[in-house]
């Protein structure tokens, strides 16, 4: 009887631990553009958000979101004046502030000096005093640069795996790269994955001249779905198509990991893609935290 009671108690503890893990909040940074205010943003998405903190580093805010609240992030993204929504570590900004403080106190002179010295090739002056002054000014400029809202915005925007800014300043859907086996027609594949609704996807294929220079890009195409629902339906079908050699997202980043590698003579993604399910659709709750280079090198990139 005691053994049964203990087993029930243990099961209860494990269940609570699992629940606590699933509800553990994650920190997200939301960038607002085009003079959008937090107040107008909340009105647009039509639901309250708790634990908002305005960030002086960027036009935007941070928010803690429980791991199972996927709808909140989806609602935040629905605002066209949101520039990015990026998952970060809880102490992301604090770590950056500590780095800036240390840099201004000369704590990372070796790192910045090496970068500045690499710029000397653009100057032919051999005067040692001039070179020392030039390097000191470059170091100060780099530290000032990584303290700006622009730096934070570009770093966080580029780490958002779901959307990116086009050259025209529009929010674009995620681009998926599909490599088909030789002889497989892209139109036939599109009809298969869209159930004969080709207008639901935009296709951008490699040019023949480029393909001829790179045999690994043969029959490779970029696809953008016109709606999230169509993407959700079609991605598993892309993976299930036996004549598809590979599928991966065109914009998904894990800092410090090589993008591609060669396996058996073929170019393939060199990491386990954090954007995709085994069925082929991405999950908000497993989006990897974006970490500064400081997490591995104790310092962010200076450019």
Task: Count the residues in the chain.
Answer: 303
pLDDT band at 242 (very low <50, low <70, confident <90, very high): very high
| pTM score, whole prediction | 0.54
**Domain residues of the chain, as ranges?**
96-149, 175-281
Average pLDDT for residues 111-136, to the nearest whole number?
A: 59
Q: Decide if 149 contacts 143 (C-beta within 8 A).
A: no
Instruction: Give residue 62's pLDDT.
Output: 92
Long-range Cβ contacts of 239-246 (<8 Å, 24+ apart): 239/279, 239/280, 241/189, 241/192, 241/193, 243/180, 243/181, 243/184, 243/189, 244/178, 244/179, 244/180, 244/181, 244/184, 244/189, 245/179, 245/180, 245/181, 246/177, 246/178, 246/179
pLDDT band at 266 (very low <50, low <70, confident <90, very high): low
pLDDT band at 154 (very low <50, low <70, confident <90, very high): confident
User: Using one digit for the tens of pLDDT, what is the confidence trace for 165-176?
Assistant: 554 444 556 778
**Per the structure block, which two tokens stand in for 79?**
């605002």
Instruction: Give residue 56's pLDDT.
Output: 80
Instruction: Give residue 192's pLDDT.
Output: 92
The radius of gyration computed from the CA coordinates of the chain, to the nearest angstrom, equals: 24
Average pLDDT for residues 46-64, to the nearest whole number?
A: 86
The pLDDT of residue 8 is above 90: no
């Amino acid at each position: 009887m005691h053994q049964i009671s203990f087993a029930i108690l243990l099961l209860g503890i494990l269940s609570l631990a699992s629940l606590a893990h699933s509800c553990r909040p994650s920190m997200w940074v939301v960038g607002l553009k085009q003079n959008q205010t937090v107040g107008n943003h909340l009105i647009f998405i039509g639901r309250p958000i708790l634990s908002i903190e305005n960030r002086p580093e960027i036009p935007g805010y941070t928010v803690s979101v429980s791991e199972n609240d996927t709808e909140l992030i989806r609602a935040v993204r629905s605002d066209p004046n949101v520039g990015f929504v990026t998952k970060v570590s809880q102490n992301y900004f604090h770590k950056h502030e500590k780095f800036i403080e240390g840099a201004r106190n000369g704590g990372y002179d070796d790192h910045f000096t090496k970068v500045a010295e690499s710029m000397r090739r653009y100057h032919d002056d051999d005067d040692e005093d001039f070179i020392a002054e030039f390097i000191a000014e470059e170091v100060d400029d780099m530290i000032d640069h990584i303290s700006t809202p622009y730096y934070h915005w570009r770093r966080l925007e580029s780490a958002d795996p779901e959307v990116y800014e086009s050259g025209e300043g529009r929010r674009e859907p995620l681009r998926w790269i599909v490599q088909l086996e030789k002889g497989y027609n892209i139109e036939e594949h599109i009809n298969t994955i869209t159930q004969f609704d080709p207008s639901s996807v935009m296709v951008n294929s490699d040019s023949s001249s480029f393909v001829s220079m790179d045999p690994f890009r043969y029959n490779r195409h970029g696809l953008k779905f016109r709606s999230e629902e169509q993407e959700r339906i079609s991605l598993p079908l892309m993976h299930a198509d036996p004549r598809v050699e590979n599928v991966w997202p065109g914009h998904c980043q894990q800092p410090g990991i090589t993008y591609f590698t060669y396996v058996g003579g073929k170019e393939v993604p060199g990491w386990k893609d954090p954007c995709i399910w085994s069925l082929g659709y991405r999950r908000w709750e497993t989006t990897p935290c974006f970490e500064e280079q400081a997490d591995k090198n104790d310092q962010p990139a200076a450019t």
